């Protein structure tokens, strides 16, 4: 038999990238937004982030001891804890931040097989769990820190927009506003996103289609038409950029097909708009992404390419 028919066992596609290397890049990319959150809200923001990260790593470590397989070196628990902490208000009780991390790692990740087997983004699933379980604490955006935001306490900009009040868009872009620890500065988030884009960790298929479809939905259904200030405020607020670039692009919970990624992004944009403009709250990003994660198998099934000569392929002659 010819040597050309002798092939090695799978996998046949190899890369110099490792899970820990990719996760380290994500951590680095998140540092500008996390650092700005600490600057805005003070030392307590750093404490919330540390508790969230430590609880996530400890939970995965203890589960690894139980399963006799330690996986904390891949840094995925660090990313989950950091993302969750950035999606929490600075005033949240520390035990709630720890509970959220335990839920993210133990319930959403480990019990479904660990990294690569979770059916939704663990950090956002934990945030939704905390919002449903502790709505008051998760919507308390009064600063208790010693940072720059002591003069900017109260409702979030999106809540003000929903009630018909005006907001300062430039403050939202630069971060002089209330919100969760990691969502306030659009510039810091975009800097981190550029790091991931330049490193090739993510591409613009999902975040691009997500942001564009949400912008179109806002123009049509937002009630303000194509009003630049209103549209800019909607794009800059509510963790949209953080969700689009750092959580919707999660390798495990996004579609693997190219067309599916565009469909996924458009679905997220529409659902975020529905939650924001027609729901009781002013946010919507977390619930939109979690709902999209649940539909990924259907999206992949509908958008998978047809094998050459397979059913549905065009016939000639």
Ordered structural domains, the chain, with CATH: 20-147+159-303 (1.10.3430)
Residues 140, 257: Cα–Cα separation, whole Å: 39
Rounded to 10 deg, the angle between the 43-67 and 94-102 helix axes is 30
CA distances from 96 to 84, 107, 192, 194 (A): 11, 15, 27, 32
Distance CA 279, CA 268 (A): 15
Query: What whole-number distance in Å separates Cα of residue 3 and Cα of residue 86?
Result: 54
Residue 273: per-residue pLDDT: 95
Which pLDDT belongs to residue 287? 94
Q: Which two tokens stand for residue 253?
A: 């919970």
Specify whether the CB–CB gap between 31 and 86 falls below 8 A. Answer: no
Cα-to-chain-centroid distance, residue 112: 20
Task: Round to whole Å and give the CA distance between 193 and 176.
Answer: 20
pLDDT of residue 143: 62
Q: Count other Cβ atoms within 10 Å, centred on residue 224.
A: 15
Confidence (pLDDT) at 7 = 45
pTM higher than 0.85? yes
How high is the pLDDT of residue 313?
47
Q: Which stretches of the chain drop beneath a pLDDT of 70? A: 1-17, 143-154, 307-317
> How many angstroms from the chain centroid is the CA of residue 78?
14
Give residue 304's pLDDT.
86
């Amino acid at each position: 038999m010819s040597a050309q028919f002798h092939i090695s066992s799978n996998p046949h596609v190899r890369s110099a990238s490792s899970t820990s290397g990719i996760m380290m890049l994500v951590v680095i990319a998140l540092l500008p937004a996390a650092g700005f959150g600490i600057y805005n809200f003070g030392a307590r923001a750093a404490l919330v982030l540390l508790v969230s990260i430590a609880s996530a790593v400890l939970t995965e470590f203890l589960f690894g001891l139980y399963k006799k397989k330690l996986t904390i070196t891949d840094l995925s628990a660090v990313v989950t804890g950091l993302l969750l902490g950035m999606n929490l208000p600075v005033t949240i009780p520390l035990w709630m931040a720890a509970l959220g991390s335990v839920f993210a790692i133990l319930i959403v990740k480990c019990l479904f097989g660990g990294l690569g087997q979770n059916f939704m983004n663990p950090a956002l699933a934990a945030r939704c769990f905390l919002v449903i379980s502790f709505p008051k604490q998760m919507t308390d955006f009064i600063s208790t820190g010693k940072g720059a935001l002591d003069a900017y306490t109260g409702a979030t900009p999106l809540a003000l927009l929903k009630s018909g009040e005006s907001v300062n868009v430039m403050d939202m872009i630069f971060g002089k506003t209330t919100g969760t620890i990691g969502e306030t500065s659009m510039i810091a988030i975009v800097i981190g996103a550029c790091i991931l884009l330049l490193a090739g960790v993510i591409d613009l298929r999902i975040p691009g289609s997500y942001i564009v479809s949400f912008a179109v939905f806002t123009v049509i259904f937002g009630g303000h038409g194509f009003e630049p200030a209103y549209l800019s405020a909607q794009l800059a607020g509510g963790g949209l950029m953080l969700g689009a670039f750092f959580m919707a692009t999660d390798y495990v919970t996004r579609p693997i097909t190219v067309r599916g990624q565009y469909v996924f992004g458009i679905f997220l944009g529409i659902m975020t708009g529905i939650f924001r403009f027609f729901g009781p709250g002013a946010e919507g990003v977390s619930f939109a992404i979690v709902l999209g994660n649940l539909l990924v198998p259907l999206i992949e099934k509908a958008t998978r390419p047809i094998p050459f000569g397979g059913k549905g392929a065009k016939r000639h002659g």
